[in-house]
Amino acid sequence: MELFSLPGMFFGALAWFILRYVIFGFFTVNQNERAVKTSFGRATRLTSTTLDNPMAEYLRPDERERYRYPQLQVIQPGGPYFKWPWEKVYKVSVATETVNLAFDPEDVNANRGGTELDAVTKDQLNIGLIGQLRFRVSDQNLYAYIFGVKRPLVHVLGYFISILRQKIASFEAPEAPLQDAGAVAGIGGPSDLSVAAGVSINDLRKNLRLLNEDMDKGSLSSTARYGITLDASLITGIDPPDDVDSALAAINTAHNQVGAQVSLAQAEADQKLVQSRRAVEIQQLNARAEVEPLLQLSNQLSELKRTGGPGVLAAYVRNVKLALFGKARSAYVEVKP
């Protein structure tokens, strides 16, 4: 008796094929995912490329041809979808993720265990950077993320860190505007003496917001390069080496003392300026109070002369003299010889 019959083997293979590639060929895509399907290793492409997308405007002219990636047909959240045995589905999460600025995907022990990133300032001072980086996979350039590079997160973190270290090495604080009080007092210097001193770590600490904004602008091409969008970078701390920390604290203390003296001088100059303006206003009001009755009297006499005739002014003067003589105890009268 035969253990296996030919029809039984055929129907068994058919049942296995239907179960494996038809029933299990259906798949779904979650809300925070996007999917790309390939057929014999080739993804379904559109007619456009990354150079036709607004993301390409942040690429340098010499980089545009290097990062010309095809646009793919992206499977949106939902389902069920079906794939044939010769097709393969790549799912990626597009949720926003946050990593430590010093995180190294290839070596967890690098950068002091992923806690602090080293950098060198323009005055050759080694500093440690603490912060976070927020990123997400862009569904506008999934070809670069899935097929462009082997480990896109490693590439984009290295790209970001290289830009950050270049910014640190060449960072210069913006010129502070002159304060009005300082100009009046004759000081004429910037309002922040720490910035004027040119100490690089002071410049960086006082301009963290500007540094973060520059990093956001400098990383805009990461979407076209690697398919990862850097949403925001947040550098929260800059620490100097231990051997210069005390010296730096002394420098900052000296600058703070000088800044306090300058602030007092500016406040005193402001006070004197306000007092001078007030005194001028008071004198102007006093002069106006003395002149105003005379102007009113002049207007009244002009109107009296116009309505009463030429002799009315002499009569007015006589009446005024009589009123004055009535109030006087004695009078000296000139007698003509």
Residue 193 tokens read as 């003496």
239-257 confidence digits (pLDDT tens): 776 666 565 666 666 667 7
Domain membership of residue 311 (yes or no) is no
Cβ atoms within 10 Å, residue 82: 11
pTM > 0.75: no
CATH code of residue 74: 3.30.479.30
Domain membership of residue 249 (yes or no) is no
> What is the spatial distance between Cα 105 and Cα 71, in angstroms, rounded to a whole number?
28
Name the residue range of residue 148's domain.
10-19+23-171+207-241
Domain membership of residue 143 (yes or no) is yes
Domain membership of residue 186 (yes or no) is no
Q: Mean pLDDT lowest for which of 46-55, 135-144, 154-163, 199-208?
A: 199-208
- Closest Cα to residue 181, out of 73, 270, 294? 270
Domain membership of residue 181 (yes or no) is no
Domain tally, the chain? 1
24-39 confidence digits (pLDDT tens): 678 889 999 999 999 9
What is the sign, positive or negative, of the torsion defined by CA atoms of 62, 67, 71, 77? negative
Mean pLDDT of the chain: 79
Residue 324 tokens read as 């004055």
Element (H, E) at 319: helix 312-327
Query: How wide is the angle at C-alpha 213 spanned by C-alphas 212 and 214, nearest 5°?
Result: 90
Count how many Cα atoms sit within 13 Å of the Cα of residue 226 in the half-sphere of its side chain: 21
* pLDDT above 60 for 226: yes
Domain membership of residue 50 (yes or no) is yes
Domain membership of residue 95 (yes or no) is yes
Q: Who has greater pLDDT, 323 or 5?
A: 323
